[in-house]
């Protein structure tokens, strides 16, 4: 799943752990994945690193706060994968035409390789068209959530989507329930 706008509130660049707001149903959503034996993995673009808005240490602290708040809610993340790059902003090494900034699929490929996931049986949940494209690129299904940018993306921009979602859900919990229902025989 995507982080900002999907798992957490879309608040712009999260340059301090105190700006992180886990969405109300997110811990329940991750708990349901945990209970179903489905890996719960975050894949997030954080170009604020390349742009110099915050450091790698701050990013690590923000993601640690995310893991900790979910843990307090009884929910476990199996992995957090970050693209810190931007193709044209900032300075090397983060100013880079990388293979991991969504819509490119590099984060998904890395997660699958390191965690032993079958992307053809995976679903990417996100709030932007770029999330859906990344899913399509690896043969995964996709769900657009209407949190974060999702409502505007769906209401005003869906005719421009290069890869339509397989499902649209109110939020991450709705997306997770759709995934789990799809597993029933
Ligand atoms: Mg997002
Ligand atoms: Zn990257």
Question: 């995507």: which residue's tokens?
Answer: 2
Extract the tokens encoding 90: 């900032």
Give burial (CB, 10 Å; 0-12/13-18/19+) of 14: buried
pLDDT of residue 44: 98
Ligand 1 centre to CA of 185 (Å) is: 32
Which residues hold their Cβ within 5 A of ligand 1, which is an ion? 2, 4-5, 127
Q: How far is the C-alpha of 118 from the C-alpha of 65, rounded, in Å?
A: 28
pLDDT of residue 41: 98
Q: 96 falls in which pLDDT band (50, 70, 90)?
A: very high
Q: Which of 2, 127, 131, 171 is catalytic?
A: 2
Q: 185 falls in which pLDDT band (50, 70, 90)?
A: confident
**Are 80 and 42 contacting, i.e. CB atoms less than 8 angstroms apart?**
yes
Ligand 2 centre to CA of 83 (Å) is: 4
**Are 103 and 137 contacting, i.e. CB atoms less than 8 angstroms apart?**
yes
pLDDT of residue 103: 98
Ligand 1 centre to CA of 124 (Å) is: 12
Residue among 10, 12, 66, 13 nearest 40 (CA): 66
Q: Is 72 noted as a catalytic residue in this protein?
A: no
Ligand lying nearest the CA atom of residue 83:
2
Residue among 50, 110, 38 nearest 81 (CA): 110
Ligand 2 centre to CA of 138 (Å) is: 16
**What is the pTM assigned to this prediction?**
0.97
Q: 5 falls in which pLDDT band (50, 70, 90)?
A: very high
When pLDDT is averaged across residues 69-96 and rounded to a whole number, the result is 97
Mean pLDDT check: name the lowest of 92-96, 108-112, 164-168, 181-185. 181-185
pLDDT of 149 over the 90 cut: yes
Instruction: Give φ, ψ of 68 to 5 degrees.
Output: -70, -45
Whole-number average pLDDT of the chain: 97
Does a cis peptide bond (omega within 30 degrees of 0) precede residue 69?
no
Q: Is 78 noted as a catalytic residue in this protein?
A: no
Could you give the dihedral angle defined by the CA atoms of residues 172, 44, 166 and 161, in that order, rounded to the nearest 10 degrees?
120
Q: 164-181 burial, b if ≥16 CB within 10 A, otherwise e?
A: ebbbbbebbbbbbebbee
């Amino acid at each position: 799943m995507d982080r900002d706008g999907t798992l957490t509130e879309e608040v712009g660049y999260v340059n301090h752990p105190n700006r992180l707001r886990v969405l109300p149903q997110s811990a329940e959503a991750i708990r349901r994945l945990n209970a179903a034996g489905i890996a719960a993995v975050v894949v997030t673009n954080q170009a604020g690193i390349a742009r110099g808005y915050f450091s790698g240490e701050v990013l690590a602290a923000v993601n640690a706060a995310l893991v900790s708040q979910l843990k307090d809610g009884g929910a476990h993340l199996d992995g957090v994968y970050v693209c810190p790059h931007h193709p044209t902003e900032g300075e090397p090494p983060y100013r880079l035409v990388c293979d991991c900034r969504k819509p490119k699929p590099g984060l998904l490929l890395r997660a699958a390789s390191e965690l032993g996931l079958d992307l053809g049986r995976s679903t990417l949940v996100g709030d932007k068209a770029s999330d859906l494209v990344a899913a399509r690129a690896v043969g995964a299904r996709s769900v657009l959530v209407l949190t974060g940018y999702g409502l505007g993306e769906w209401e005003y921009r869906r005719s421009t989507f290069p890869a339509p979602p397989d499902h649209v859900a109110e939020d991450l919990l709705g997306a997770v329930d759709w995934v789990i229902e799809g597993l029933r025989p």
